[in-house]
């Protein structure tokens, strides 16, 4: 009888409104937390490093990332007034925004990041409202080009981290052998777990790689400073508007374009969840609710220091693989994230991860983003027309990014907007796809 009850309870994991026992649900939830944890804390750490923020500010960004990830995950599970999709998802801070966030922050400061995020997140709510009508303007050739451009633009960030980051550049130790060793050890362990591991080991390759790299850094000494962990408080809620808000037209426009791009990627992730978890297509209501949910939580995040979020593809992959879709499992995930966010010592400890270790781990993430773009492009026939559109968009976008002086005679506003390879590639592929006659002939 007990065995039959256990089987019945475990079967609840595969129902959206199932009620699995805590013992059955918690291991599944922990698996999702392990899969997303590093991805969620890394973007705020990269932004803090790029903008030379204080350690205390970096801790606040990590804390807000965990809180906003938990809140967005809950809203997607349990929609309110059409905000949220009602499907299982694990939300976290998006790597895809990194190039735009870094550009805005470098030029105007972190207050401009959150000011532009507040406006763009509000605008994205309207994207969700009309997603059924505008979805046709973003076929795989457009979304794939954008995702590919995002992946390519992130490689510089990874290499800078492998070399030791901005601090190492300032003190002349950038690219030192010890940094290379830490990055390579982390990368090798991450790849080994991901390629040859099974079960928890396979889905937790990045966090295992970081743990091994962290231990290696401790053994090498002189790399990790725990003083901020000791000074961090045990419990604290995020301080509203701690980073301020600034509004610059070019920054807002770039962020709106990024939210449009991310909406396209969200459509892909939600569609994969519906097909993989429920064996059906996602409805326009679910797609629109997901985008609107991200929008409202993006506005909340701008007020508390939480960067823009998106569904995590690795967690979508877990849902498709395990078929575990019970809301109770993902509620536990959200609660763990929220709990981690209100304990600053956790965030301060995460901030002690050496930059070369993060660099070695994130290379795999950035490579996966690039390959996702290529995979999306393959969903349409790569005939002469489509190859030409993609090639021109990437050539001009990456070319301008590599030689920014080509824009020196343009107005400053134009320089700011077109200074991003991502924005340029998106605008070109979007416009060319509209004006060049459609051709779906074979390759």
pLDDT at 203: 64
Q: Are residues 207 and 269 in the same domain?
A: yes
Closest CA to 211 of 191, 186, 188, 184: 186
**Quick check: is 18 in a domain?**
no
H or E element, residue 96: none
Query: Given the structure tokens 């807002």, which residue do they identify?
Result: 252
Asked if residue 17 is part of any domain, the answer here is: no
Q: Are residues 189 and 283 in the same domain?
A: yes
Question: Running DSSP on this structure, what letter comes out for residue 97?
Answer: G
Task: Tell me which residue range forms the domain holding 416.
Answer: 381-443
Q: Are residues 90 and 203 in the same domain?
A: yes
CA atoms in the 13 A half-sphere facing the CB of 101:
29
Whether residues 401 and 366 fall in one domain: no
Look at residues 164, 197, 160, 193 and name the one whose alpha carbon lies nearest to residue 181: 164
For residue 425, is it within any domain?
A: yes
Instruction: Output the pLDDT for position 9.
Output: 56
Cα Rg for the chain, rounded, in angstroms?
A: 21
Residues 325 and 414 in one domain: no
- 303 and 371 together in one domain: yes
Residue 83 β-bridge partners? 80
- Which residues in 15-162 belong to E strands, given as ranges? 91-93
Q: Are residues 399 and 328 in the same domain?
A: no
Q: State the pLDDT at residue 2.
A: 47
* Count of CB atoms situated within 10 Å of the CB of 79: 18
**Residue 432's pLDDT is what?**
95
Residue 200, pLDDT score: 67
Q: In the chain, which stretches have pLDDT less than 70?
A: 1-10, 200, 203, 222-223
Number of neighbours of residue 195 by Cβ within 10 angstroms: 9
Question: Hey, what are 280's tokens?
Answer: 């059906």
Asked if residues 130 and 287 have their Cβ atoms less than 8 Å apart, the reply is no
* pLDDT score recorded for residue 345: 87
Q: In terms of domains, do 336 and 399 share one? A: no
Domain assignment present for residue 3? The answer is no
Asked if residue 354 and residue 388 are part of one domain, the reply reads no
- Quick one: 203 and 180 in the same domain? yes
**How many Cα atoms within 13 Å fall on the side-chain side of residue 383?**
10
Cα atoms found within 13 Å of the Cα of residue 65, Cβ hemisphere only: 30
Domain count, the chain: 2
Q: Is 443 exposed, middle or buried (0-12, 13-18, 19+ CB in 10 A)?
A: exposed
Give pLDDT, residue 10: 62
């Amino acid at each position: 009888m007990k065995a039959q009850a256990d089987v019945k309870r475990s079967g609840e994991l595969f129902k959206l409104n199932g009620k699995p026992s805590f013992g059955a649900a918690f291991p599944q939830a922990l698996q999702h937390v392990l899969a997303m944890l590093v991805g969620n804390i890394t973007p705020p750490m990269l932004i803090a490093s790029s903008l030379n923020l204080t350690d205390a500010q970096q801790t606040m960004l990590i804390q807000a990332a965990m809180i906003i990830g938990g809140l967005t995950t809950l809203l997607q599970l349990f929609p309110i007034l059409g905000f949220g999709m009602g499907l299982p998802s694990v939300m976290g801070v998006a790597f895809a925004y990194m190039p735009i966030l870094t550009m805005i922050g470098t030029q105007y400061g972190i207050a401009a990041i959150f000011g532009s995020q507040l406006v763009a997140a509000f605008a994205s709510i309207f994207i969700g409202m009309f997603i059924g009508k505008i979805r046709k303007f973003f076929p795989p050739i457009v979304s794939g080009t954008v995702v590919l451009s995002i992946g390519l633009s992130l490689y510089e960030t990874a290499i800078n981290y492998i070399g030791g980051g901005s601090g190492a550049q300032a003190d002349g130790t950038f690219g030192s052998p010890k940094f290379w060793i830490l990055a390579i050890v982390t990368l090798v362990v991450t790849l080994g777990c991901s390629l040859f591991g099974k079960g928890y080991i396979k889905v937790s390759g990045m966090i295992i790689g970081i743990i091994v790299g962290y231990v290696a850094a401790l053994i090498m000494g002189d790399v990790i400073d725990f003083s901020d962990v000791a000074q961090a408080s045990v419990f604290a809620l995020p301080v509203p508007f701690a980073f301020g808000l600034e509004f610059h037209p070019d920054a807002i426009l770039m962020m709106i374009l990024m939210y449009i791009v991310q909406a396209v990627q969200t459509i892909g992730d939600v569609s994969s969840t519906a097909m993989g978890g429920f064996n059906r297509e996602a409805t326009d209501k679910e797609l629109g609710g997901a985008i609107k949910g991200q929008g409202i939580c993006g506005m909340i995040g701008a007020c508390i220091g939480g960067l823009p979020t998106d569904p995590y593809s690795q967690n979508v992959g877990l849902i498709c693989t395990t078929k575990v879709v019970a809301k109770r499992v993902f509620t536990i995930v959200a609660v763990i994230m929220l709990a981690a966010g209100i304990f600053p010592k956790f965030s301060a400890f995460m901030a002690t991860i050496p930059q070369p270790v993060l660099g070695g781990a994130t290379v795999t993430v950035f490579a996966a983003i690039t390959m996702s773009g290529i995979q999306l492009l393959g969903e349409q026939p790569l005939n002469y027309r489509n190859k030409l559109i993609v090639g021109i968009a990437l050539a001009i976008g990456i070319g301008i990014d590599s030689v920014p002086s080509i824009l020196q005679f343009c107005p400053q506003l134009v320089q700011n907007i077109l200074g991003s390879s991502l924005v340029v590639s998106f605008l070109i592929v979007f416009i060319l796809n509209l004006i060049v006659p459609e051709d779906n002939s074979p390759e």
